[in-house]
């Protein structure tokens, strides 16, 4: 009886199997997906795909049902099936575009923020790069694509002049980025790197959000809310400063006063310049951070400094030295408000105002310069599925007046004013987790020229492996001619540059490798008659040029314990026909080969961090009127070996020391020649060299907090 019942049940179970399902699950490339779940909706009948993506299972369900297929990283797939007969399927799943784990377009760009996936530099690197002396541009000059111009200290990027790089703080223009300095004496940026959480440095191909820069953009992101209330005291060989941060629940205020005076230092260290009164400055900084709600942030930044110096500078064309007396007053205010809307959108409004007053006495000539600049910008971003959209507009107003009183008491007055009205839109399309496309367009209207430009920007990135990607970018860029030209002539037009770039980047397990090739084409550059350079009727936009080359970068933070180093190399081939050049020639500010090594190591046992850097540039071109050809001569190679260290004397006290050009190399940046040849038809010259062979710095930094355990080591 029992045996008969079991036989009947087994036979009934066999009859209950109504259908068999088989098939294969693949991705967008036709590759099988192992481990995908395949099942009948609202049942337990299903299977998991094998290593090749195949599946097979049987079900007792009948009739029309819904088959569900799921796999991590892909959209769920539901498909009706008829189980009255065997089912065989081939299903291709659609990949979910996850922007957090996707790729970023990096052609021409270095992200210097802990928040970015493609991090190359961090804020700490700026402070601890030997030879940079905690100057933002000093550290960036250790990256590929730049050429060290020791006589200016400014950023010269991929065959571009220093004025072709524009700086922004929290998206708003900085109107006068560098501190005042005499000719052939390097200047520093006006802003401390300790106030910024990240730096975005693009050597080309940057977003349509930015304009008025033919070569590069330097975008600084200021700090958000601090962790605690603190006071910082600094005692340095060049001055002193005190800073205090007061924090409350949803906001903070920061104030700093700094005094710098190089006279004591100049008296101790031999200078090649005859300083009557060395560089001195008084600087004040104020910052407010306030969250009005949990979804927004208001930032206010204000800075004022007054600097001055008096010196006697040799002049190859006269026996007496030029007597230079300069006073510079600079004020800058920046405020911006950012609000997140609904989790997928952001609204931004930013304003800045800059005012610079400068008085220069050059021998018997008095020059007064007044600059006023205003920038207002607003944009809105939103995400729609796998598309991100940014759209906005801005207005940049700039004006300058120059009044000159000559030695015969005659007066000359020159000025210009321009209102730039611009609109921009940019769309990022995340095709897959392996492909990102970006298209942008910028509209600009120049009131000075009564002209309008359209600047297209295109870029894309393709993931080629774990942490690796290839990026390509094209962009068209426009900019006002330099201020020294506009102050004399408003009958000009904008200058233009087109960028083409392809790069490869791999960031994985503490290693970073970047390589990039580029071509930059210049058009509409300003030219004038070299024998009549102050006659505006000779000014035209007939100039042109190009720059092309390769940049290489390698960084390793993993191989050696507590050691971080990077190596960069650039090769550039560039020619320009601009200003007083007779034709296409190598510009004096660009070296063909640029190489640098930066090394840092922390010794935990002695609480000390050391740093060293070595920089090398091949000789830069200069024009020797005694030789045939224009800019056909070259200076000797530039080399600099620098060192620094920070010692944690106590938990809240740090001793910091640095020295540039340890070997005392006599670097030459060019030559000044006599305007007229001597009796032997020979033009005498004098070398443009460093103000001093070395710069030595010692500082003591004290941090005062409630628990007395905080320090500035992360900033040093």
Q: Which residues contact 477 (CB under 8 A, 6 or more apart)?
A: 211, 213, 214, 455, 496, 497, 498, 499
What is the per-residue pLDDT for 444? 97
- Sheet arrangement for strand 196-202: 109-113, 196-202, 216-222, 165-169, 172-173
Number of domains into which the chain is organized: 2
C-alpha Rg value of the chain to the nearest Å: 31
pLDDT, one tens digit per residue, over 603-616 is 888 889 899 999 99
Is the same domain home to 398 and 517? yes
Asked if residue 217 is part of any domain, the answer here is yes
Rounded Cα distance, 681 and 697, in Å? 46
Is the same domain home to 83 and 120? no
CATH of the domain at 70: 2.60.40.1120
Which residues on adjacent β-strands are paired with residue 469? 463, 505
Is the same domain home to 131 and 83? no
Residue 18 confidence (pLDDT) above 80: no
The residue that leads in pLDDT, 65 or 74, is 65
CATH of the domain at 305: 2.40.170.20
Asked if residue 374 is part of any domain, the answer here is yes
Structural domain including 77 reads: 2-92
Mean pLDDT (the chain, rounded) = 88
pLDDT, one tens digit per residue, over 239-257 is 999 999 999 999 999 999 9
Rounded Cα distance, 328 and 312, in Å? 18
Asked if residue 605 is part of any domain, the answer here is yes
Is the same domain home to 432 and 306? yes
Residue 278 confidence (pLDDT) above 90: yes
Asked if residue 165 is part of any domain, the answer here is yes
Asked if residue 574 is part of any domain, the answer here is yes
Describe the chain by its helix, strand, coil percentages, rounded to 5. 10, 55, 35
Asked if residue 372 is part of any domain, the answer here is yes
Let me know: does 59 contact 41? Beta carbons within 8 Å: no
Rounded Cα distance, 25 and 553, in Å? 41
Let me know: does 340 contact 346? Beta carbons within 8 Å: yes
Is the same domain home to 125 and 71? no
What is the per-residue pLDDT for 122? 59
Let me know: does 472 contact 458? Beta carbons within 8 Å: no
pTM to 2 decimal places: 0.84
| String of DSSP letters for 130-191 | TTSTT-HHHHHTTSTTB---TTT----BTT--GGGEEEEETTEE-S--BPP--TTS---BSS
Residue 118 confidence (pLDDT) above 90: no
User: Maximum distance among all alpha carbons in the chain?
Assistant: 135
What is the per-residue pLDDT for 120? 52
Is the same domain home to 86 and 114? no
Is the same domain home to 82 and 152? no
Give the pLDDT band of residue 706 (cuts 50, 70, 90).
Answer: confident
Last residue in a domain, options 35, 64, 92: 92
Is the same domain home to 491 and 618? yes
Is the same domain home to 31 and 163? no
Which residues on adjacent β-strands are paired with residue 99? none
pLDDT, one tens digit per residue, over 622-666 is 999 999 899 999 999 999 999 998 888 888 888 999 999 999 999
Let me know: does 495 contact 476? Beta carbons within 8 Å: no
Asked if residue 693 is part of any domain, the answer here is yes
Is the same domain home to 493 and 594? yes
Is the same domain home to 430 and 553? yes
Residue 203 confidence (pLDDT) above 80: yes
What is the per-residue pLDDT for 604? 84
HSE-up of 189 (CA within 13 Å, CB side)? 29
Is the same domain home to 67 and 122? no
Rounded Cα distance, 307 and 261, in Å? 10
Strands 696-704 and 608-617: unpaired
Residue 182 confidence (pLDDT) above 50: yes
What is the per-residue pLDDT for 112? 45
């Amino acid at each position: 009886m029992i045996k008969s019942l079991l036989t009947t049940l087994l036979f009934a179970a066999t009859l209950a199997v109504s259908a068999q399902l088989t098939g294969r699950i693949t991705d967008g490339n036709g590759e099988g997906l192992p481990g995908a779940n395949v099942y009948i909706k609202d049942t337990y009948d299903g299977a998991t795909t094998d290593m090749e993506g195949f599946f097979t299972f049987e079900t007792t369900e009948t009739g029309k049902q819904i088959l569900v297929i799921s796999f991590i990283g892909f959209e769920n797939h539901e498909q009706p099936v008829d189980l009255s007969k065997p089912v065989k399927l081939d299903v291709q799943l659609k990949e979910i575009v996850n922007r957090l784990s996707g790729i970023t377009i990096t052609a021409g760009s270095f992200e210097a923020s802990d928040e970015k996936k493609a991090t190359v530099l961090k804020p700490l690197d700026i402070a601890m790069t030997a030879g940079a002396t905690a100057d933002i541009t000093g550290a960036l000059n250790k990256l590929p694509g730049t050429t060290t111009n020791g006589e200016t200290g400014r950023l010269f990027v991929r065959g571009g002049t220093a004025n072709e790089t524009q700086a922004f703080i929290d998206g708003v223009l900085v109107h006068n980025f560098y501190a005042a300095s005499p000719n052939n004496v390097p200047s520093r940026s006006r802003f401390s790197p300790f106030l910024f959480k990240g730096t975005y440095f693009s050597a080309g191909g940057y977003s349509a959000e930015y304009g008025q820069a033919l070569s590069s953009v330097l975008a600084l992101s200021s700090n958000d809310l601090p962790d605690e209330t603190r006071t910082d005291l600094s005692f340095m060989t060049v001055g002193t400063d005190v800073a205090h941060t007061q924090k409350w629940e949803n906001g903070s205020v920061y104030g700093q006063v700094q005094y710098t005076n190089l006279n004591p230092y100049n008296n101790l260290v031999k200078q090649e310049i005859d300083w009557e009164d060395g560089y001195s400055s008084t600087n004040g900084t104020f910052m407010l951070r306030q969250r009005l709600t949990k979804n927004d942030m208001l930032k206010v930044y204000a800075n004022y400094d007054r600097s001055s110096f008096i010196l006697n500078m040799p002049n190859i064309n006269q026996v007496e030295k030029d007597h230079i007396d300069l006073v510079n007053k600079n004020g800058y205010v920046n405020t911006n408000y950012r609000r997140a809307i609904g989790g997928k959108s952001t609204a931004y409004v930013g304003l800045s105002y800059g005012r610079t007053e400068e008085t220069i006495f050059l021998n018997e000539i008095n020059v007064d310069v007044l600059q006023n600049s205003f920038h207002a910008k607003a944009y809105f971003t939103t995400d729609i599925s796998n598309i991100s959209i940014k759209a906005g507009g801005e207005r940049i107003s700039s004006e300058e007046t120059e009044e000159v009183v000559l030695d015969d008491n005659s007066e000359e007055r020159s000025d210009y004013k321009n209102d730039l009205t611009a609109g921009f839109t940019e769309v990022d399309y995340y095709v897959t987790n392996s492909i990102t496309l970006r298209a942008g367009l910028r509209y600009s209207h120049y009131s000075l020229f009564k002209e309008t430009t359209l600047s297209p920007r295109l870029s894309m990135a393709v993931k080629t492996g774990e942490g690796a990607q290839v990026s390509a970018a094209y962009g068209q860029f426009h900019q006002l001619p330099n201020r020294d030209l506009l102050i004399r002539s408003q009958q000009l037009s904008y200058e233009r540059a087109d960028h083409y770039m392809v790069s490869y980047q791999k960031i994985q397990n503490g290693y970073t490798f970047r390589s990039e090739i580029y071509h930059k084409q210049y058009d509409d550059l300003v030219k004038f008659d070299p024998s009549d350079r102050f006659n505006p009727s000779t000014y035209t936009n007939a100039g042109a040029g190009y720059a092309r080359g390769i940049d290489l970068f390698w960084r390793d933070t993993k191989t050696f314990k507590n050691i971080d180093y990077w190596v960069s190399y650039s090769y550039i081939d560039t020619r320009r026909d601009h200003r007083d050049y007779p034709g296409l020639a190598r510009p004096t500010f660009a070296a063909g080969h640029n190489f640098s090594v930066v090394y840092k190591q922390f010794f935990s046992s002695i609480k000390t961090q050391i740093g060293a850097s070595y920089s090398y540039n091949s000789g830069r071109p200069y024009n020797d009127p005694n030789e045939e050809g224009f800019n056909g001569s070259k200076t000797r190679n530039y080399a600099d070996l620098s060192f620094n260290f920070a010692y944690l004397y106590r938990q809240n006290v740090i001793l910091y020391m640095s020295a540039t050009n340890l070997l005392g190399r006599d670097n030459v940046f060019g030559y000044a020649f006599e305007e007229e040849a001597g009796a032997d038809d020979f033009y005498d010259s004098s070398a443009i060299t460093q103000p001093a062979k070395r710069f030595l710095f010692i500082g003591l930094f004290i941090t005062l907090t409630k628990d007395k355990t905080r320090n500035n080591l992360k900033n040093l």
